[in-house]
Structure 1
Amino acid sequence: MNISHLKSLTFLHQRSLNVNTMVLLLATYFAVLFNQPIIQKVYALSSYDLPLYFISHLLLLAAFVIIFSLLAWPYVFKIIFIPLVLSSALAFYASNKYNVMFDYTMIENIFETNSNESVSYINISSVSWFIVLGLLPALLLLKIKITYNGSLLKMLFMKAVLLCSSMLVILIIAVFYYKDYASIGRNNAYLNKMINPAHVYNTYKYIKKNYFNKAMPYSLLGQDATITSAKNSKPTLMVFVVGETARSQNIAYNGYQRNTNPYTENMGLISFKHVQTCGTATAVSLPCLFSNMNRPDYNKQKANNQDNVLDILSHAGVDVRWIDNDGGDKQVAKNLDKIDINKNDNSDLCNKHSCYDQVLLRQLPRLIAKQPGKDKLLALHLIGSHGPTYYQRYPQDKTLFKPACERSDIENCSDQEIVNVYDNSIAYTDYVLAETITLLKQYQEEYNVALFYLSDHGESLGENGLYLHGTPYVVAPDQQTHVPWFMWANEAYFTNKSLNKACLEQKAANDFVSHDNLFHTLLGFYGVETKQKNKDLDITYSCKA
């Protein structure tokens, strides 16, 4: 370090600012910079009313002055505001680049994201933004000495002046612009989720709910479950493929103009064309789709403390296993035998961050060979089309669409490159499904064989400026809430389970279904009877001979 660097650091160390000045500077930084996404949104919703654009900055500035003044006290000022600046810089990057909203669901998804998945978001762009907008201001704040107006009484008086002035500004704005903000706010309730740092409040809610709430007693469900014997008395072998980030819009079976299903197109899959998800992120959708709760009534804590449909199949005597390639089961497999893919044992299909989903198939022959003659369900949790590193989800020899976006900062790729790389990942999932069906056919002399595929949520690829997933459900686009659901079985399965395949194909083409149907439909398709099954939600019920 040279002499000039030492001098600059000494200057910063000796530099002091009054606490109220510091509050005004921080409030301005948050209002003018970190909340630019919500201001732009309000500006667009106001039909580009220019005065309202500038008034919105002033309104946020006054609000932040009030909030920050209440937090600005000796000994804790830097402890509070340095982490706030750092985390808000990250939130601003995500909001500005991908239109991410940090509501409770998004915070839940962040906390439950595995480290390998998190690494995929680190790139030159994100690191540069964080350093310039977060780290450097935080270091500056660390070096500056904060003064507090002398006596406690004077400090409180000056704080009161600042608070009253800010309240007066808000009152004046309300007098002249209340109708404008009321109209925009009532019709767009999601806007409050865009305010930075809303992530702090939702992080508090998540920690409180998950670590400080009283534990809920565990509920056993479906202990009366029994399997209805197939006509040929063969046991059932089903593979349930849990998809990741696949959206219905990019599925050839569902009308997409590209053939993203070239590997299974002649295998007789039944594709449900109108399927709605329980959530827009894995942390919500995965446990929800296996639970007996419908989306409006879903409660994660309850789901984690009761049996799900896989547990009920186990109660019926089915050997259920979970094999994971997506970094976690979100407690769906809490009572099951679970296998996590070991990257070191599969170096030809894995890198240091993730594995291609084909690696899951290596587990199947060994698991099928266990307990011969027993009913089985093997759940494969894919990494599927998880972004932003879509290019890491398929091997290069499975590239069908070019040019593909082969970088994690997808905002620097063209829309067509993003669609191409995403479609490649969808097509690779189709390849994995085709290989799974081919393997199942090898066992059809011993078992009635079948496959389910259902994705947890969809993905935005730049439509209306949105990328990735996790948008609050109330405003989430169809691309994030509509997903593919496939069923496949050999002819013997339909015959011996008394299922009408043509009836199911008709329902798949016309009926509007959702994750709510999975719990009951899986039981019905497998042939399990229990009081927990609701025939009105079992898609197969009306298709039984």
Structure 2
Amino acid sequence: MIVMLALYFAIVLNFPVTQKLYQLAGEGHLAFALSPSLVLFCCFLIIFSLLAIPYLFKPLLTLITLSSAAATYAIWKYQIVFDYGMVENILATNSGEALSYVNIYSVLYCLVLGGLPVLLLYRTHILSRESWLKAGLFRAGLVVAACLMLALLTAFFYKDYASVGRNNRYITKMIVPAHVYYGVKYVKRTFFTTPLQYVELGKDATVKPSKNGKPNLVVLVIGETARAHNMQYNGYQRETNPYTQGLNLIALQSVSSCGTATAHSLPCMMSNLSHDNYKRERADSQDNVLDVMAHAGVDVTWLENDGGDKHVAKNITKHELTLSQGWDGCQSLSCYDEVLVQQLAQLVDAKDKPSDQLVALHIIGSHGPTYYQRYPKDMEVFKPACRRSDIENCSDEEIVNVYDNTLVYTDYVLAQTIKLLPGYSEQYNVALMYLSDHGESLGENGLYLHGTPYAFAPTEQTQVPWLIWLPEEYASTQGINRDCLAQAAKTGTFSHDNLFHSLLGFYGVETQAKQAELDFIAGCRG
């Protein structure tokens, strides 16, 4: 049984890995190109020999095999790599998002690749040897044989593996079931690691009084899976921003995300940690930019429509859209983002007395693979559009069309929000900022969706749009030179590292926690 399972994992479930190594081997390296399956077979012999504990072997291998079948499907169809960040993102996904990945093809794939082997596993009666000593010796024999074979393969192909491995470190993360290792690591870090001591930031924060004496009402829209490449504002040839074209938005042209998945990017972009030194456990154990603004006396509210705030709204008021609330614009599994605009209006209208406010709208935006569920059918501009969750069965044209439709709808939501705000301009100085958490792959180089490890993620997943709606009244009362900011947006290079400091500067919050060199608003004051 150990040998059969080792063969199955090495040849079938890890076919994407062996195929990738075959491609990387190049011409003239046929022997090396055929060796990965044998290397994996030996490794699995060792692993399964150690896991072959009576009464635990079948249940344990059932879980590993079923989850490995799902992982193989994701790697094969979408080129997803299951490193720690991807596991973190999966385990932070709500049921609505998870169900969007379920379709007839994914279910059948998992049943065939996972269900059938598990069925055979349970129908096989495993006989015990006469004594524990004999069982141990046979098991040790398997391990020794596997080690000797690995040593032989290393002697022949060490240079080849060293070369390929050094230049393609992601290969090890493609091996199934690497997700089990990273899953255990995530559980250990999340549930069995002593939390860091909480650090408060910006307790000295104050809001600089506006020149006209009115409080500020700023809306921060956190986008989901919008990539800069497909934004009309960033040079895309299609009209993906038709609704905001006449609203005089400022578009930053070069913006890098902190990560390639929401569970990583959202806490990172809200924190004062940079992409290079970001740690999730550190971000969760200290104040973020929303908390600093709350320390300054700003009334901060989080409106959620994307499956969770990833712990960034832990200390502020949060309202999460649920299907049971009966909003007009909600479907069976999710709500359209325009519902947040209705919720925003209700929130502001309910205030008895105007005061400084920041409202964050966390939209579902362009979350895939069910892109077609992110916008109403009557707003489908680009056709034919892929209207199914198994996007691998759609053409590239259909996938790009349906994705671009989500950007058009997001632009509509932004326009509706911007058109709402002037209605409050007698009581408030109003402005809006939009920034996406990460991008998306739409088939380029065989990659789909997002979550690729940042070290080798394509720019489609790491370059994001950042838009600012800055009315003249808000600019003048904050002392911001709008023309200067527009010019800086065209020529500057930015990242999520700037958000913490620039949002404070944009709002007029003064604190020692803000670094002037990362506040791109600071250079355009006066």
TM range (shorter): over 0.9
Q: Say if 2:201 and 2:287, in contact at 8 Å, map to a contact too.
A: yes
User: Which residue is 1:14 aligned to?
Assistant: none
Residue 499 (structure 2) aligns with:
518
Q: Cα distance, 1:235 vs. partner? A: 0.9
Q: Give the structure 1 partner of residue 112 of structure 2.
A: 132
**Deviation of the 1:347 alpha carbon:** 5.0
Residue in 1 that maps onto 2:23: 44
Amino acid in structure 1 at the alignment position of 2:369: P
Answer yes or no: is the 8 Å Cα contact 1:250–1:423 preserved in 2. Answer: yes
Offset, 1:229: 1.2
Q: 1:328 aligns with which of 284, 308, 311?
A: 308
> Partners of 1:149 and 1:344 in 2: how far apart?
58
Alpha-carbon distance in 2 for matches of 1:140, 1:411: 30
Provide the identity percentage: 55
SS in 1 for 2:210: coil
Within 5 Å, which residues of 2 pair with 1:172-211? 172-211=152-191
Which residue of 2 is the match for residue 275 of structure 1?
255
Q: Return the offset for 1:143.
A: 1.7
Whole-angstrom CA distance in 2 between matches of 1:163 and 1:148: 18
Q: 1:32: which partner in 2?
A: 11
Among 395, 411, 427, the residue aligned to 1:414: 395
Q: How many Å apart are 1:348 and its aligned residue? A: 3.2
Aligned residues of 1:239 and 1:377 also touching (Cα < 8 A)? yes
- Tell me the alpha carbon deviations over residues 357-382 of structure 1, each in whole angstroms, 9 at most, x when there is no partner: 00001112222131432011110000
Report what 2:90 is aligned to. 110
Q: Per-residue CA shift, 1:135-172, capped at 9, x if unaligned?
A: 12112111211123321111111112211111111111
Q: For 1:140, what is the secondary structure of its paired residue? A: helix
- 1:194-273 paired onto structure 2 within 5 Å: 194-273=174-253
TM-score (norm 2): 0.98
The match for 1:84 among 45, 64, 73 is 64
Matching residue within 479, 482, 485 for 2:460 = 479
Residue of structure 1 in register with 2:2 after alignment: 23
Distance in structure 1 (CA, Å) of the matches to 2:456 and 2:126? 42
Which runs of no fewer than 5 residues in structure 2 stay unpaired? Answer: none
What is the TM-score with the length of structure 1 in the denominator?
0.95
How many matched pairs? Answer: 524
2:305 aligned with 1:316: no
Aligned residue for 2:431, secondary structure, equals strand
SS of the residue corresponding to residue 424 of structure 2 reads coil
Is the 1:346–1:359 Cα contact (8 Å) retained in structure 2?
Answer: no
Say if 2:366 and 2:406, in contact at 8 Å, map to a contact too. yes
SS in 2 for 1:330: coil
Q: Which moved more, 1:88-97 or 1:359-368?
A: 359-368
CA contact 2:327–2:339 (8 Å) conserved in 1 = no
Alignment of 1:445-524 (within 5 A): 445-524=426-505
Alignment equivalent of 1:349, drawn from 329, 333, 351: 329
What residue number does 2:275 align with?
295
Q: 1:530 aligns with which of 508, 511, 515?
A: 511
Offset at 1:75? 2.1
Shift of 1:217: 2.0
**What letter matches 2:164 in structure 1?**
I
The Cα of 1:51 is off from its aligned counterpart by 2.2
CA distance in 2, matches of 1:185, 1:406: 39
**141-150 vs 382-391, which moves further:** 141-150
Mapped to 2, the partners of 1:166 and 1:537 lie a distance apart of 54
Structure 1 stretches of 5 or more lacking a match? 1-21
The 3-state SS of whatever aligns with 1:307 is coil
| 1:328 shift after superposition | 0.6
Q: 1:389, CA displacement in angstroms? A: 0.1
